[in-house]
Chain A
C-alpha cells in the first residue's frame, strides 16, 4: 500500500514574523524555512505504518520553488522512499494545491494520503478536505489516532468538545493533529542515504492543472498592538480594579 504525504516549506515556527513595510506580505528573504510542523507529523505517521508492515512505499510531494527540494530531502531523511517536486515560483492557493495532489494521487494510486491539518503560514486548513472532495474519497480530519483495517481505517478525531471516532473507507485522506505522534529526528546516516533517494521534478502544466489564483491579497498588516498594563501589588487591589476600573466582574 502506497502512502502519499504532501509537505510544505514554510517559515520556521520559531521565527518571529515581520510584515513588509509596503504591506504586500511578510518578509521571507534570509528567513529560516522548515517543513510545516503538521507535515512532519504526517511523515512520521506514514513511517510508522511502514514499520508496522501496513504501508509499502511513502511518497513525499511538495509544491513550490526549487528550494522545496530541501523540504523533500528532510522527509526522505526521516524515512520517506521518494519525492515529487511540482515546481513553480507562483503562489499556489489551497484549491490549486488540492488539484495538483489529485493529479498525483491519480498517477500514484495511494490508498492513504496523510496531510497536515493546516500550514502555519496561511492557516487555511483546507487542502486535505478539498483533495478528498475532488477525488470523491472519504476524509478524516484532525486525527489523533489512525488504525488501518481491511479496506477501511478507524480514526480518532480531535473535535471542539472532545474526541470523535469514525470509520472511513479506503482510499482516504487523513489530516493530522498535534497529538497523533512525535516526529523523529533524522539520523546522520539517514541524511546521507536520503541524498541518493530519487526526486521527480515536474510542473503544474505537466499535470494539466491551472493554478491561477482566485484571491487577491490587497494588503498584509501588523495586528493591533495591546497597550501594556499595570502591575498590582495585592489580590485585593486586583479585584478592586476588575470590579471598579475594568468593570468585568
Chain B
C-alpha cells in the first residue's frame, strides 16, 4: 500500500494543509509519496523531501503546471495514480478543484473532506455542513480523497530525508489560461493555519470597526475572520469568511465578537479547542457552543480586552 499526496504550494513554499494531508496518509498506513507539480518549484521539492515520514518526492517541474490549472494537473496525477492505492490532496480550493477531475478520469467515486481514517477503505466525513457525520466505505481500486485539514494534526515539516525523483510534464491541455490573481496580503497568519482566530460579525456595524479586532489579533498573533453576515454586509472581503460557505477553522482559541452563531457559522468553527463569545444578546446561540462567554457591548469589551493583554 502506497499513498500519493498532492502537495499544495505557493511562492516557493509548501502550504500548511499539505502537512495535515500527509498525516491523513500516514493514518491510512503504508508509504507516503509527495507530488510537487509546478513551474520552477525545485526548492519546494527540496522542502518536501524534509517533511516527516515522506518516503519519496516526485517533482513535475514544467510550464503547464504553473498556477495549478486543473486541466493540466489532472492528466499528470492520473498517469501516476496506477502505482498507488490512495491519492490524497488537501480539501482547499486547490484540492477541491483538481481532485474530482482526477477521480472522474480514473472512473473513481471520490471521498470528499475526510475528517478521520477508520481503515484503509473506510473514512468519516461530515455531511449537511457538519450536522451529521457519515462513515463511508469505498469499493474503488484506487481511493481518491480530499482531506479536511482540521481533522488531522500536521506532521513536522522537518525530520525526513526523502529522495527527489523527476517526472515528465504532460503538456498544456490548451483549455484554460491564467490571467491574474488578487491575493489578500496580510502580516497576520492565514486563517486556516492560525493558532488563534478572532472573528467579527454583523455586530461590528462597519468595516472600519474591524480595526479593533486587528489590534487584539496583533497582540495575540491571531488571524482575523468574519461571519457570512459581516461579509454580506460588505464589512470585509469574502476570504475572511468562516463557516459552511467559507473557511473551516479549528484553532486552539476562537474569539467570536458580535456573532450570533448561525448554524452556517458554527459549521466553520465548532471544532475549535476553546471558544470565547462576546455578544450583547445573552440569548445568542453562540453562547451554547462557547467555553467562555461575556455578555456586553463589544465596543467597550474589545478595547478592554486589548488593554488587558498588555
Contact = CB atoms under 8 A, between A and B. Distances in A.
Interface string A140-176: 1110100000000010011111111111110000000
A39 to B, nearest CB: 14
B110 to A, nearest CB: 6
Given A122-B127, A123-B128, A168-B175, A162 B108 contact: no
A223 B129 contact: no
B292 interface: yes
A226 B270 contact: yes
B295 interface: yes
Interface stretch (A55-63, A71-79, A188-196, A211-219): A211-219
Interface in B72-108: 74, 92-94, 96-105, 107-108
A166 B71 CA distance: 12
A134 interface: yes
B169 interface: no
A124 interface: yes
A191 B108 CA distance: 40
Binding site of B, secondary structure by majority: helix, strand, loop or mixed?
mixed
A232 B122 CA distance: 43
Contact of B133 (A142, A163, A223, A232): A223
B133 A220 contact: yes
Interface stretch (B30-38, B157-165, B177-185): B177-185
B156 interface: no
Contacts, number: 239
A52 interface: no
Interface of A: 11, 16-17, 19, 26, 93-95, 98, 120-134, 137-142, 144, 154, 157-169, 178-179, 213-223, 226, 228-236, 238-239, 241-242, 246, 248-249
Interface of B: 10, 67, 69-71, 74, 92-94, 96-105, 107-113, 122, 126-140, 174-184, 190, 192, 196, 220, 237-239, 244-245, 247, 252-253, 263, 270, 273-276, 282, 287-295, 301, 304-305, 308-309
